[in-house]
Amino acid sequence: MDVPREVIMALVLISMIIPALNPLGLPLMVGDMSRAWYRTVDELPEGSVILFDIAFGSGGYPSLGPGTIAAFHQMFEKGHKIIMMATDLEGSMMYPLIMDSVKPEQNYGAVYGEDWVFFGYIAGGQTAMAGILGDIRALVSTDYQGNDIDSLAVMDGVNGADDFDLVASITTSGDIAEGWVYQGYSQYNRPVIGGCLSMMTTSIKPYYDTGQLLGLMDGIKGAADLEFLTKHPGDAIVSSDILSFSQTLVLIFIAVGNIAYWIQKGGNS
């Protein structure tokens, strides 16, 4: 017995559409890694300076976009100053999408240039990270809008790694996630938190276990946790219903496949 591929895919699609149209608000257990991310940001004194790397593009947006939005809600709410950059080429296109959802001016009275700045895409991966942490002004002279960074109040006294109270990144790339550990933690001894896709958790979590990452937001589950903790429910909490439905269906498929295999094997023998 073999269920056709089309049937399985159609059932998966249905299992996604039902909770998407009709969110059920299924229970959620907040994981330790997301709780640690939240606590790390929460315990920073008001006005702390955070370096934030938006390192994902359109492919990662459904998984990482909601978590990034929740993260910024928490940071702006706490009155932190955020220096944003992108080590992913598409990060510059994610920035307006995310800011349209966070609305820092309306929601928190934050002002661009005073409370946050965006440098745009900086090529080079780890070289860019090392450059920003080493000497910002040697690498960046203007922000994404073309303003001289020395004219922005948020940049007053911010020159390099020692001036960042926290380094945060959310990325679809293992190299970028590990790069911030190597440059932010190992080279410059800064506290680092990271966000990644669920499928990357196995390779990034060891850095969390050793304390090199103080918090880890893993994929849509981590994003839903953060939305819950920051009390800003959004797409991730809805998506966790979808995840519950579709993954339960996958478990049923696995069970059906195995039962069919053993029945067939029993019949043959």
Partner 1 sequence: MVDFRRDIPLAITFIIGVIAVLDYYTTIPIFINTFTVIKNWGVVLQAFALGLGAVNLLRVHGRRISERRDDWYFSAVLLAMMFIFIIVGLITGQYESGATYNWLYNAIYLPLGSTMYSSLAFYMAYGAYKVLRARTFEAALLFTTAVLVIIGNTPIFPAMFPGFFHIREWIFGPIVGGAYRGIRIGVGIGAVVLGIRTLIGLETGYLGRR
For partner 1, the binding residues (CB under 8 A) are 3, 5, 8-9, 12-13, 16, 26-29, 31-32, 57-63, 89-90, 92-93, 96-97, 120, 122-125, 127-128, 130-131, 134-135, 138-139, 142, 144-146, 187, 198, 201-203, 205-206, 209, 221, 224, 240-241, 243-244, 246-251, 253-254, 256-258, 261
> What is the closest distance, in whole angstroms, from the C-beta atom of residue 235 to partner 1 in the complex?
12
Q: How far is the CB of 135 from partner 1 (least distance, A)?
A: 5
Rounded to the nearest whole angstrom, what is the least distance from the CB of residue 22 to partner 1 in the complex? 15
- Choose between 20 and 47: whose C-beta lies nearer to partner 1: 20
CB of 80 to partner 1, least distance (A): 23
Q: Which is nearer to partner 1, 212 or 230 (CB)?
A: 212
In the complex with partner 1, the residue whose CB is nearer, 108 or 144, is 144
| Strands of 81-86's sheet in order across | 116-121, 81-86, 49-55, 166-171, 192-196, 215-218
Question: At closest approach, how far in Å is the CB of 48 from partner 1?
Answer: 25
Supply the minimum distance, in Å, between the C-beta of residue 79 and partner 1. Answer: 25
- 107 vs 248, beta carbon nearer partner 1: 248
71 or 242: whose CB is closer to partner 1? 242
The secondary structure of the chain as a DSSP string is ----HHHHHHHHHHHHHHHHHS---------HHHHHHHHHHHTSPTT-EEEEEEE--TTTHHHHHHHHHHHHHHHHHTT-EEEEEESSTTHHHHHHHHHHHH-HHHHH---BTTTEEEEEE-SSTHHHHHHHHH-HHHH-SB-TTS-BGGG-GGGTT--SGGG-SEEEEEES-HHHHHHHIIIIIIIT---EEEEE-GGGHHHHHHHHHTTSSSEEEEHHHHHHHHHHHHT---HHHHHHHHHHHHHHHHHHHHHHHHHHHHHHHHHH-
Q: Which is nearer to partner 1, 31 or 113 (CB)?
A: 31
Closest separation between CB of residue 81 and partner 1, Å? 21
Distance from C-alpha of 146 to C-alpha of 153, rounded to nearest angstrom: 15
Q: How far apart are CA 9 and CA 193, in angstroms?
A: 36
Nearer residue to partner 1 within complex by CB, 10 or 153: 10
